[in-house]
Amino acid sequence: MDRKNLNSSVVAWIVMLIASSLSSIFWRLLIGEEPYWWYWVQSALLLTFFTLTFIKAEFKALKGFILILLVTYFLGYGNPAFPWGLIPLIHSSSAWVSWSTQAPWALTNMALHLLRLTPALIIMAFLLLSGMRRQDFFLAKGKIDAPAEPSRLIGMKRPQPWTQIGTIFVIVFSIGTCLSLILSSPPSLSTFMQALPLIPVAILIAAINSFNEEFTLRAAPLSKLLPTIGRQNSLWITTLFFSLGHFYGVPSGVLGVILSSFLGWFLGKSILETKGFFWAWLSHFCADIFIFTFATMEAAA
């Protein structure tokens, strides 16, 4: 790696860590909450780095990546990774709370997940207007039977087709997710029957959520990082950004970060090696079906 690309890699790592939930985790562990002024510090730092993309060469190559982070940061998703974003503010507003307490569960949750699509749509428009094709930012099926490169992390010593590796992973990951949900909150048959009419809504929400996260947090950033800082740096930057946001997820804490790091690495690897979105989205979607089905049963109960 030449000096220019090395500098760009360092900048990319710094900007990612600023935009991630790392500082939120630090403040919450230290004093129990994130200081209100820290949001303005983060915002100023991110905007400073973005301004430098118009001035310095090692920053200029990262303009697209930093812009994606800015959209993600200032809009947010309504989860602990982005507590200050516009979407969390809308979701917690008195008007939204008042409406959501009166409206049916299916309608309020569909509305929320459609609202959370906003960053993805803005980023997609930006990429298309910048002259990129869908295939350039991996928004395509890709070559789903491309060879998966050997990796010690998954115990693979020789190349195998993604149709084999991907299928095994989808099945194992989905079963694992289902079992963990059953063990943490065992459902009853009566609750399942109550929720049964709403399960199609849960499946639709799972499709929207999996597309949203895989595109916004993985495919789009990878497409902008890859030409500048190379495959390994791009993969690990997007992996860590994704996993830090799961510190307050399920499972939470260090275990949640470790498990989501492996998931993020594997799904990013699938995108890069197949040049497409298929296996990443399918893996995420199948797991989300169980997650949102259980959420539906909780709502029905």
For the cut 90, the answer to whether the pLDDT of residue 249 exceeds it is no
Tens of pLDDT, residues 152-179: 888 888 889 999 999 999 999 999 999 9
Mean local confidence (pLDDT), 56-76: 89
DSSP-derived letter for residue 161 is E
- Predicted local distance difference test score (pLDDT) of residue 250: 64
The mean of the pLDDT values for the chain is 89
Between CA 100 and CA 39, with CA 81 as vertex, the angle to 5 degrees is 100
For the cut 70, the answer to whether the pLDDT of residue 194 exceeds it is yes
- Predicted local distance difference test score (pLDDT) of residue 269: 96
Better pLDDT: 8 or 226: 226
Contact 273, 256 (CB under 8 A): no
Tens of pLDDT, residues 89-145: 888 889 999 998 888 888 999 999 999 999 999 999 999 999 999 999 999 999 999
- Read off the pLDDT band of 4 (50, 70, 90): low
Torsion over CA: 60, 66, 68, 74 (sign): negative
Tens of pLDDT, residues 37-60: 888 898 899 999 999 999 987 789
Amino acid identity at 108: T
- Residue carrying structure tokens 């947010």: 76
Task: For the chain, give every domain's residue range.
Answer: 3-300
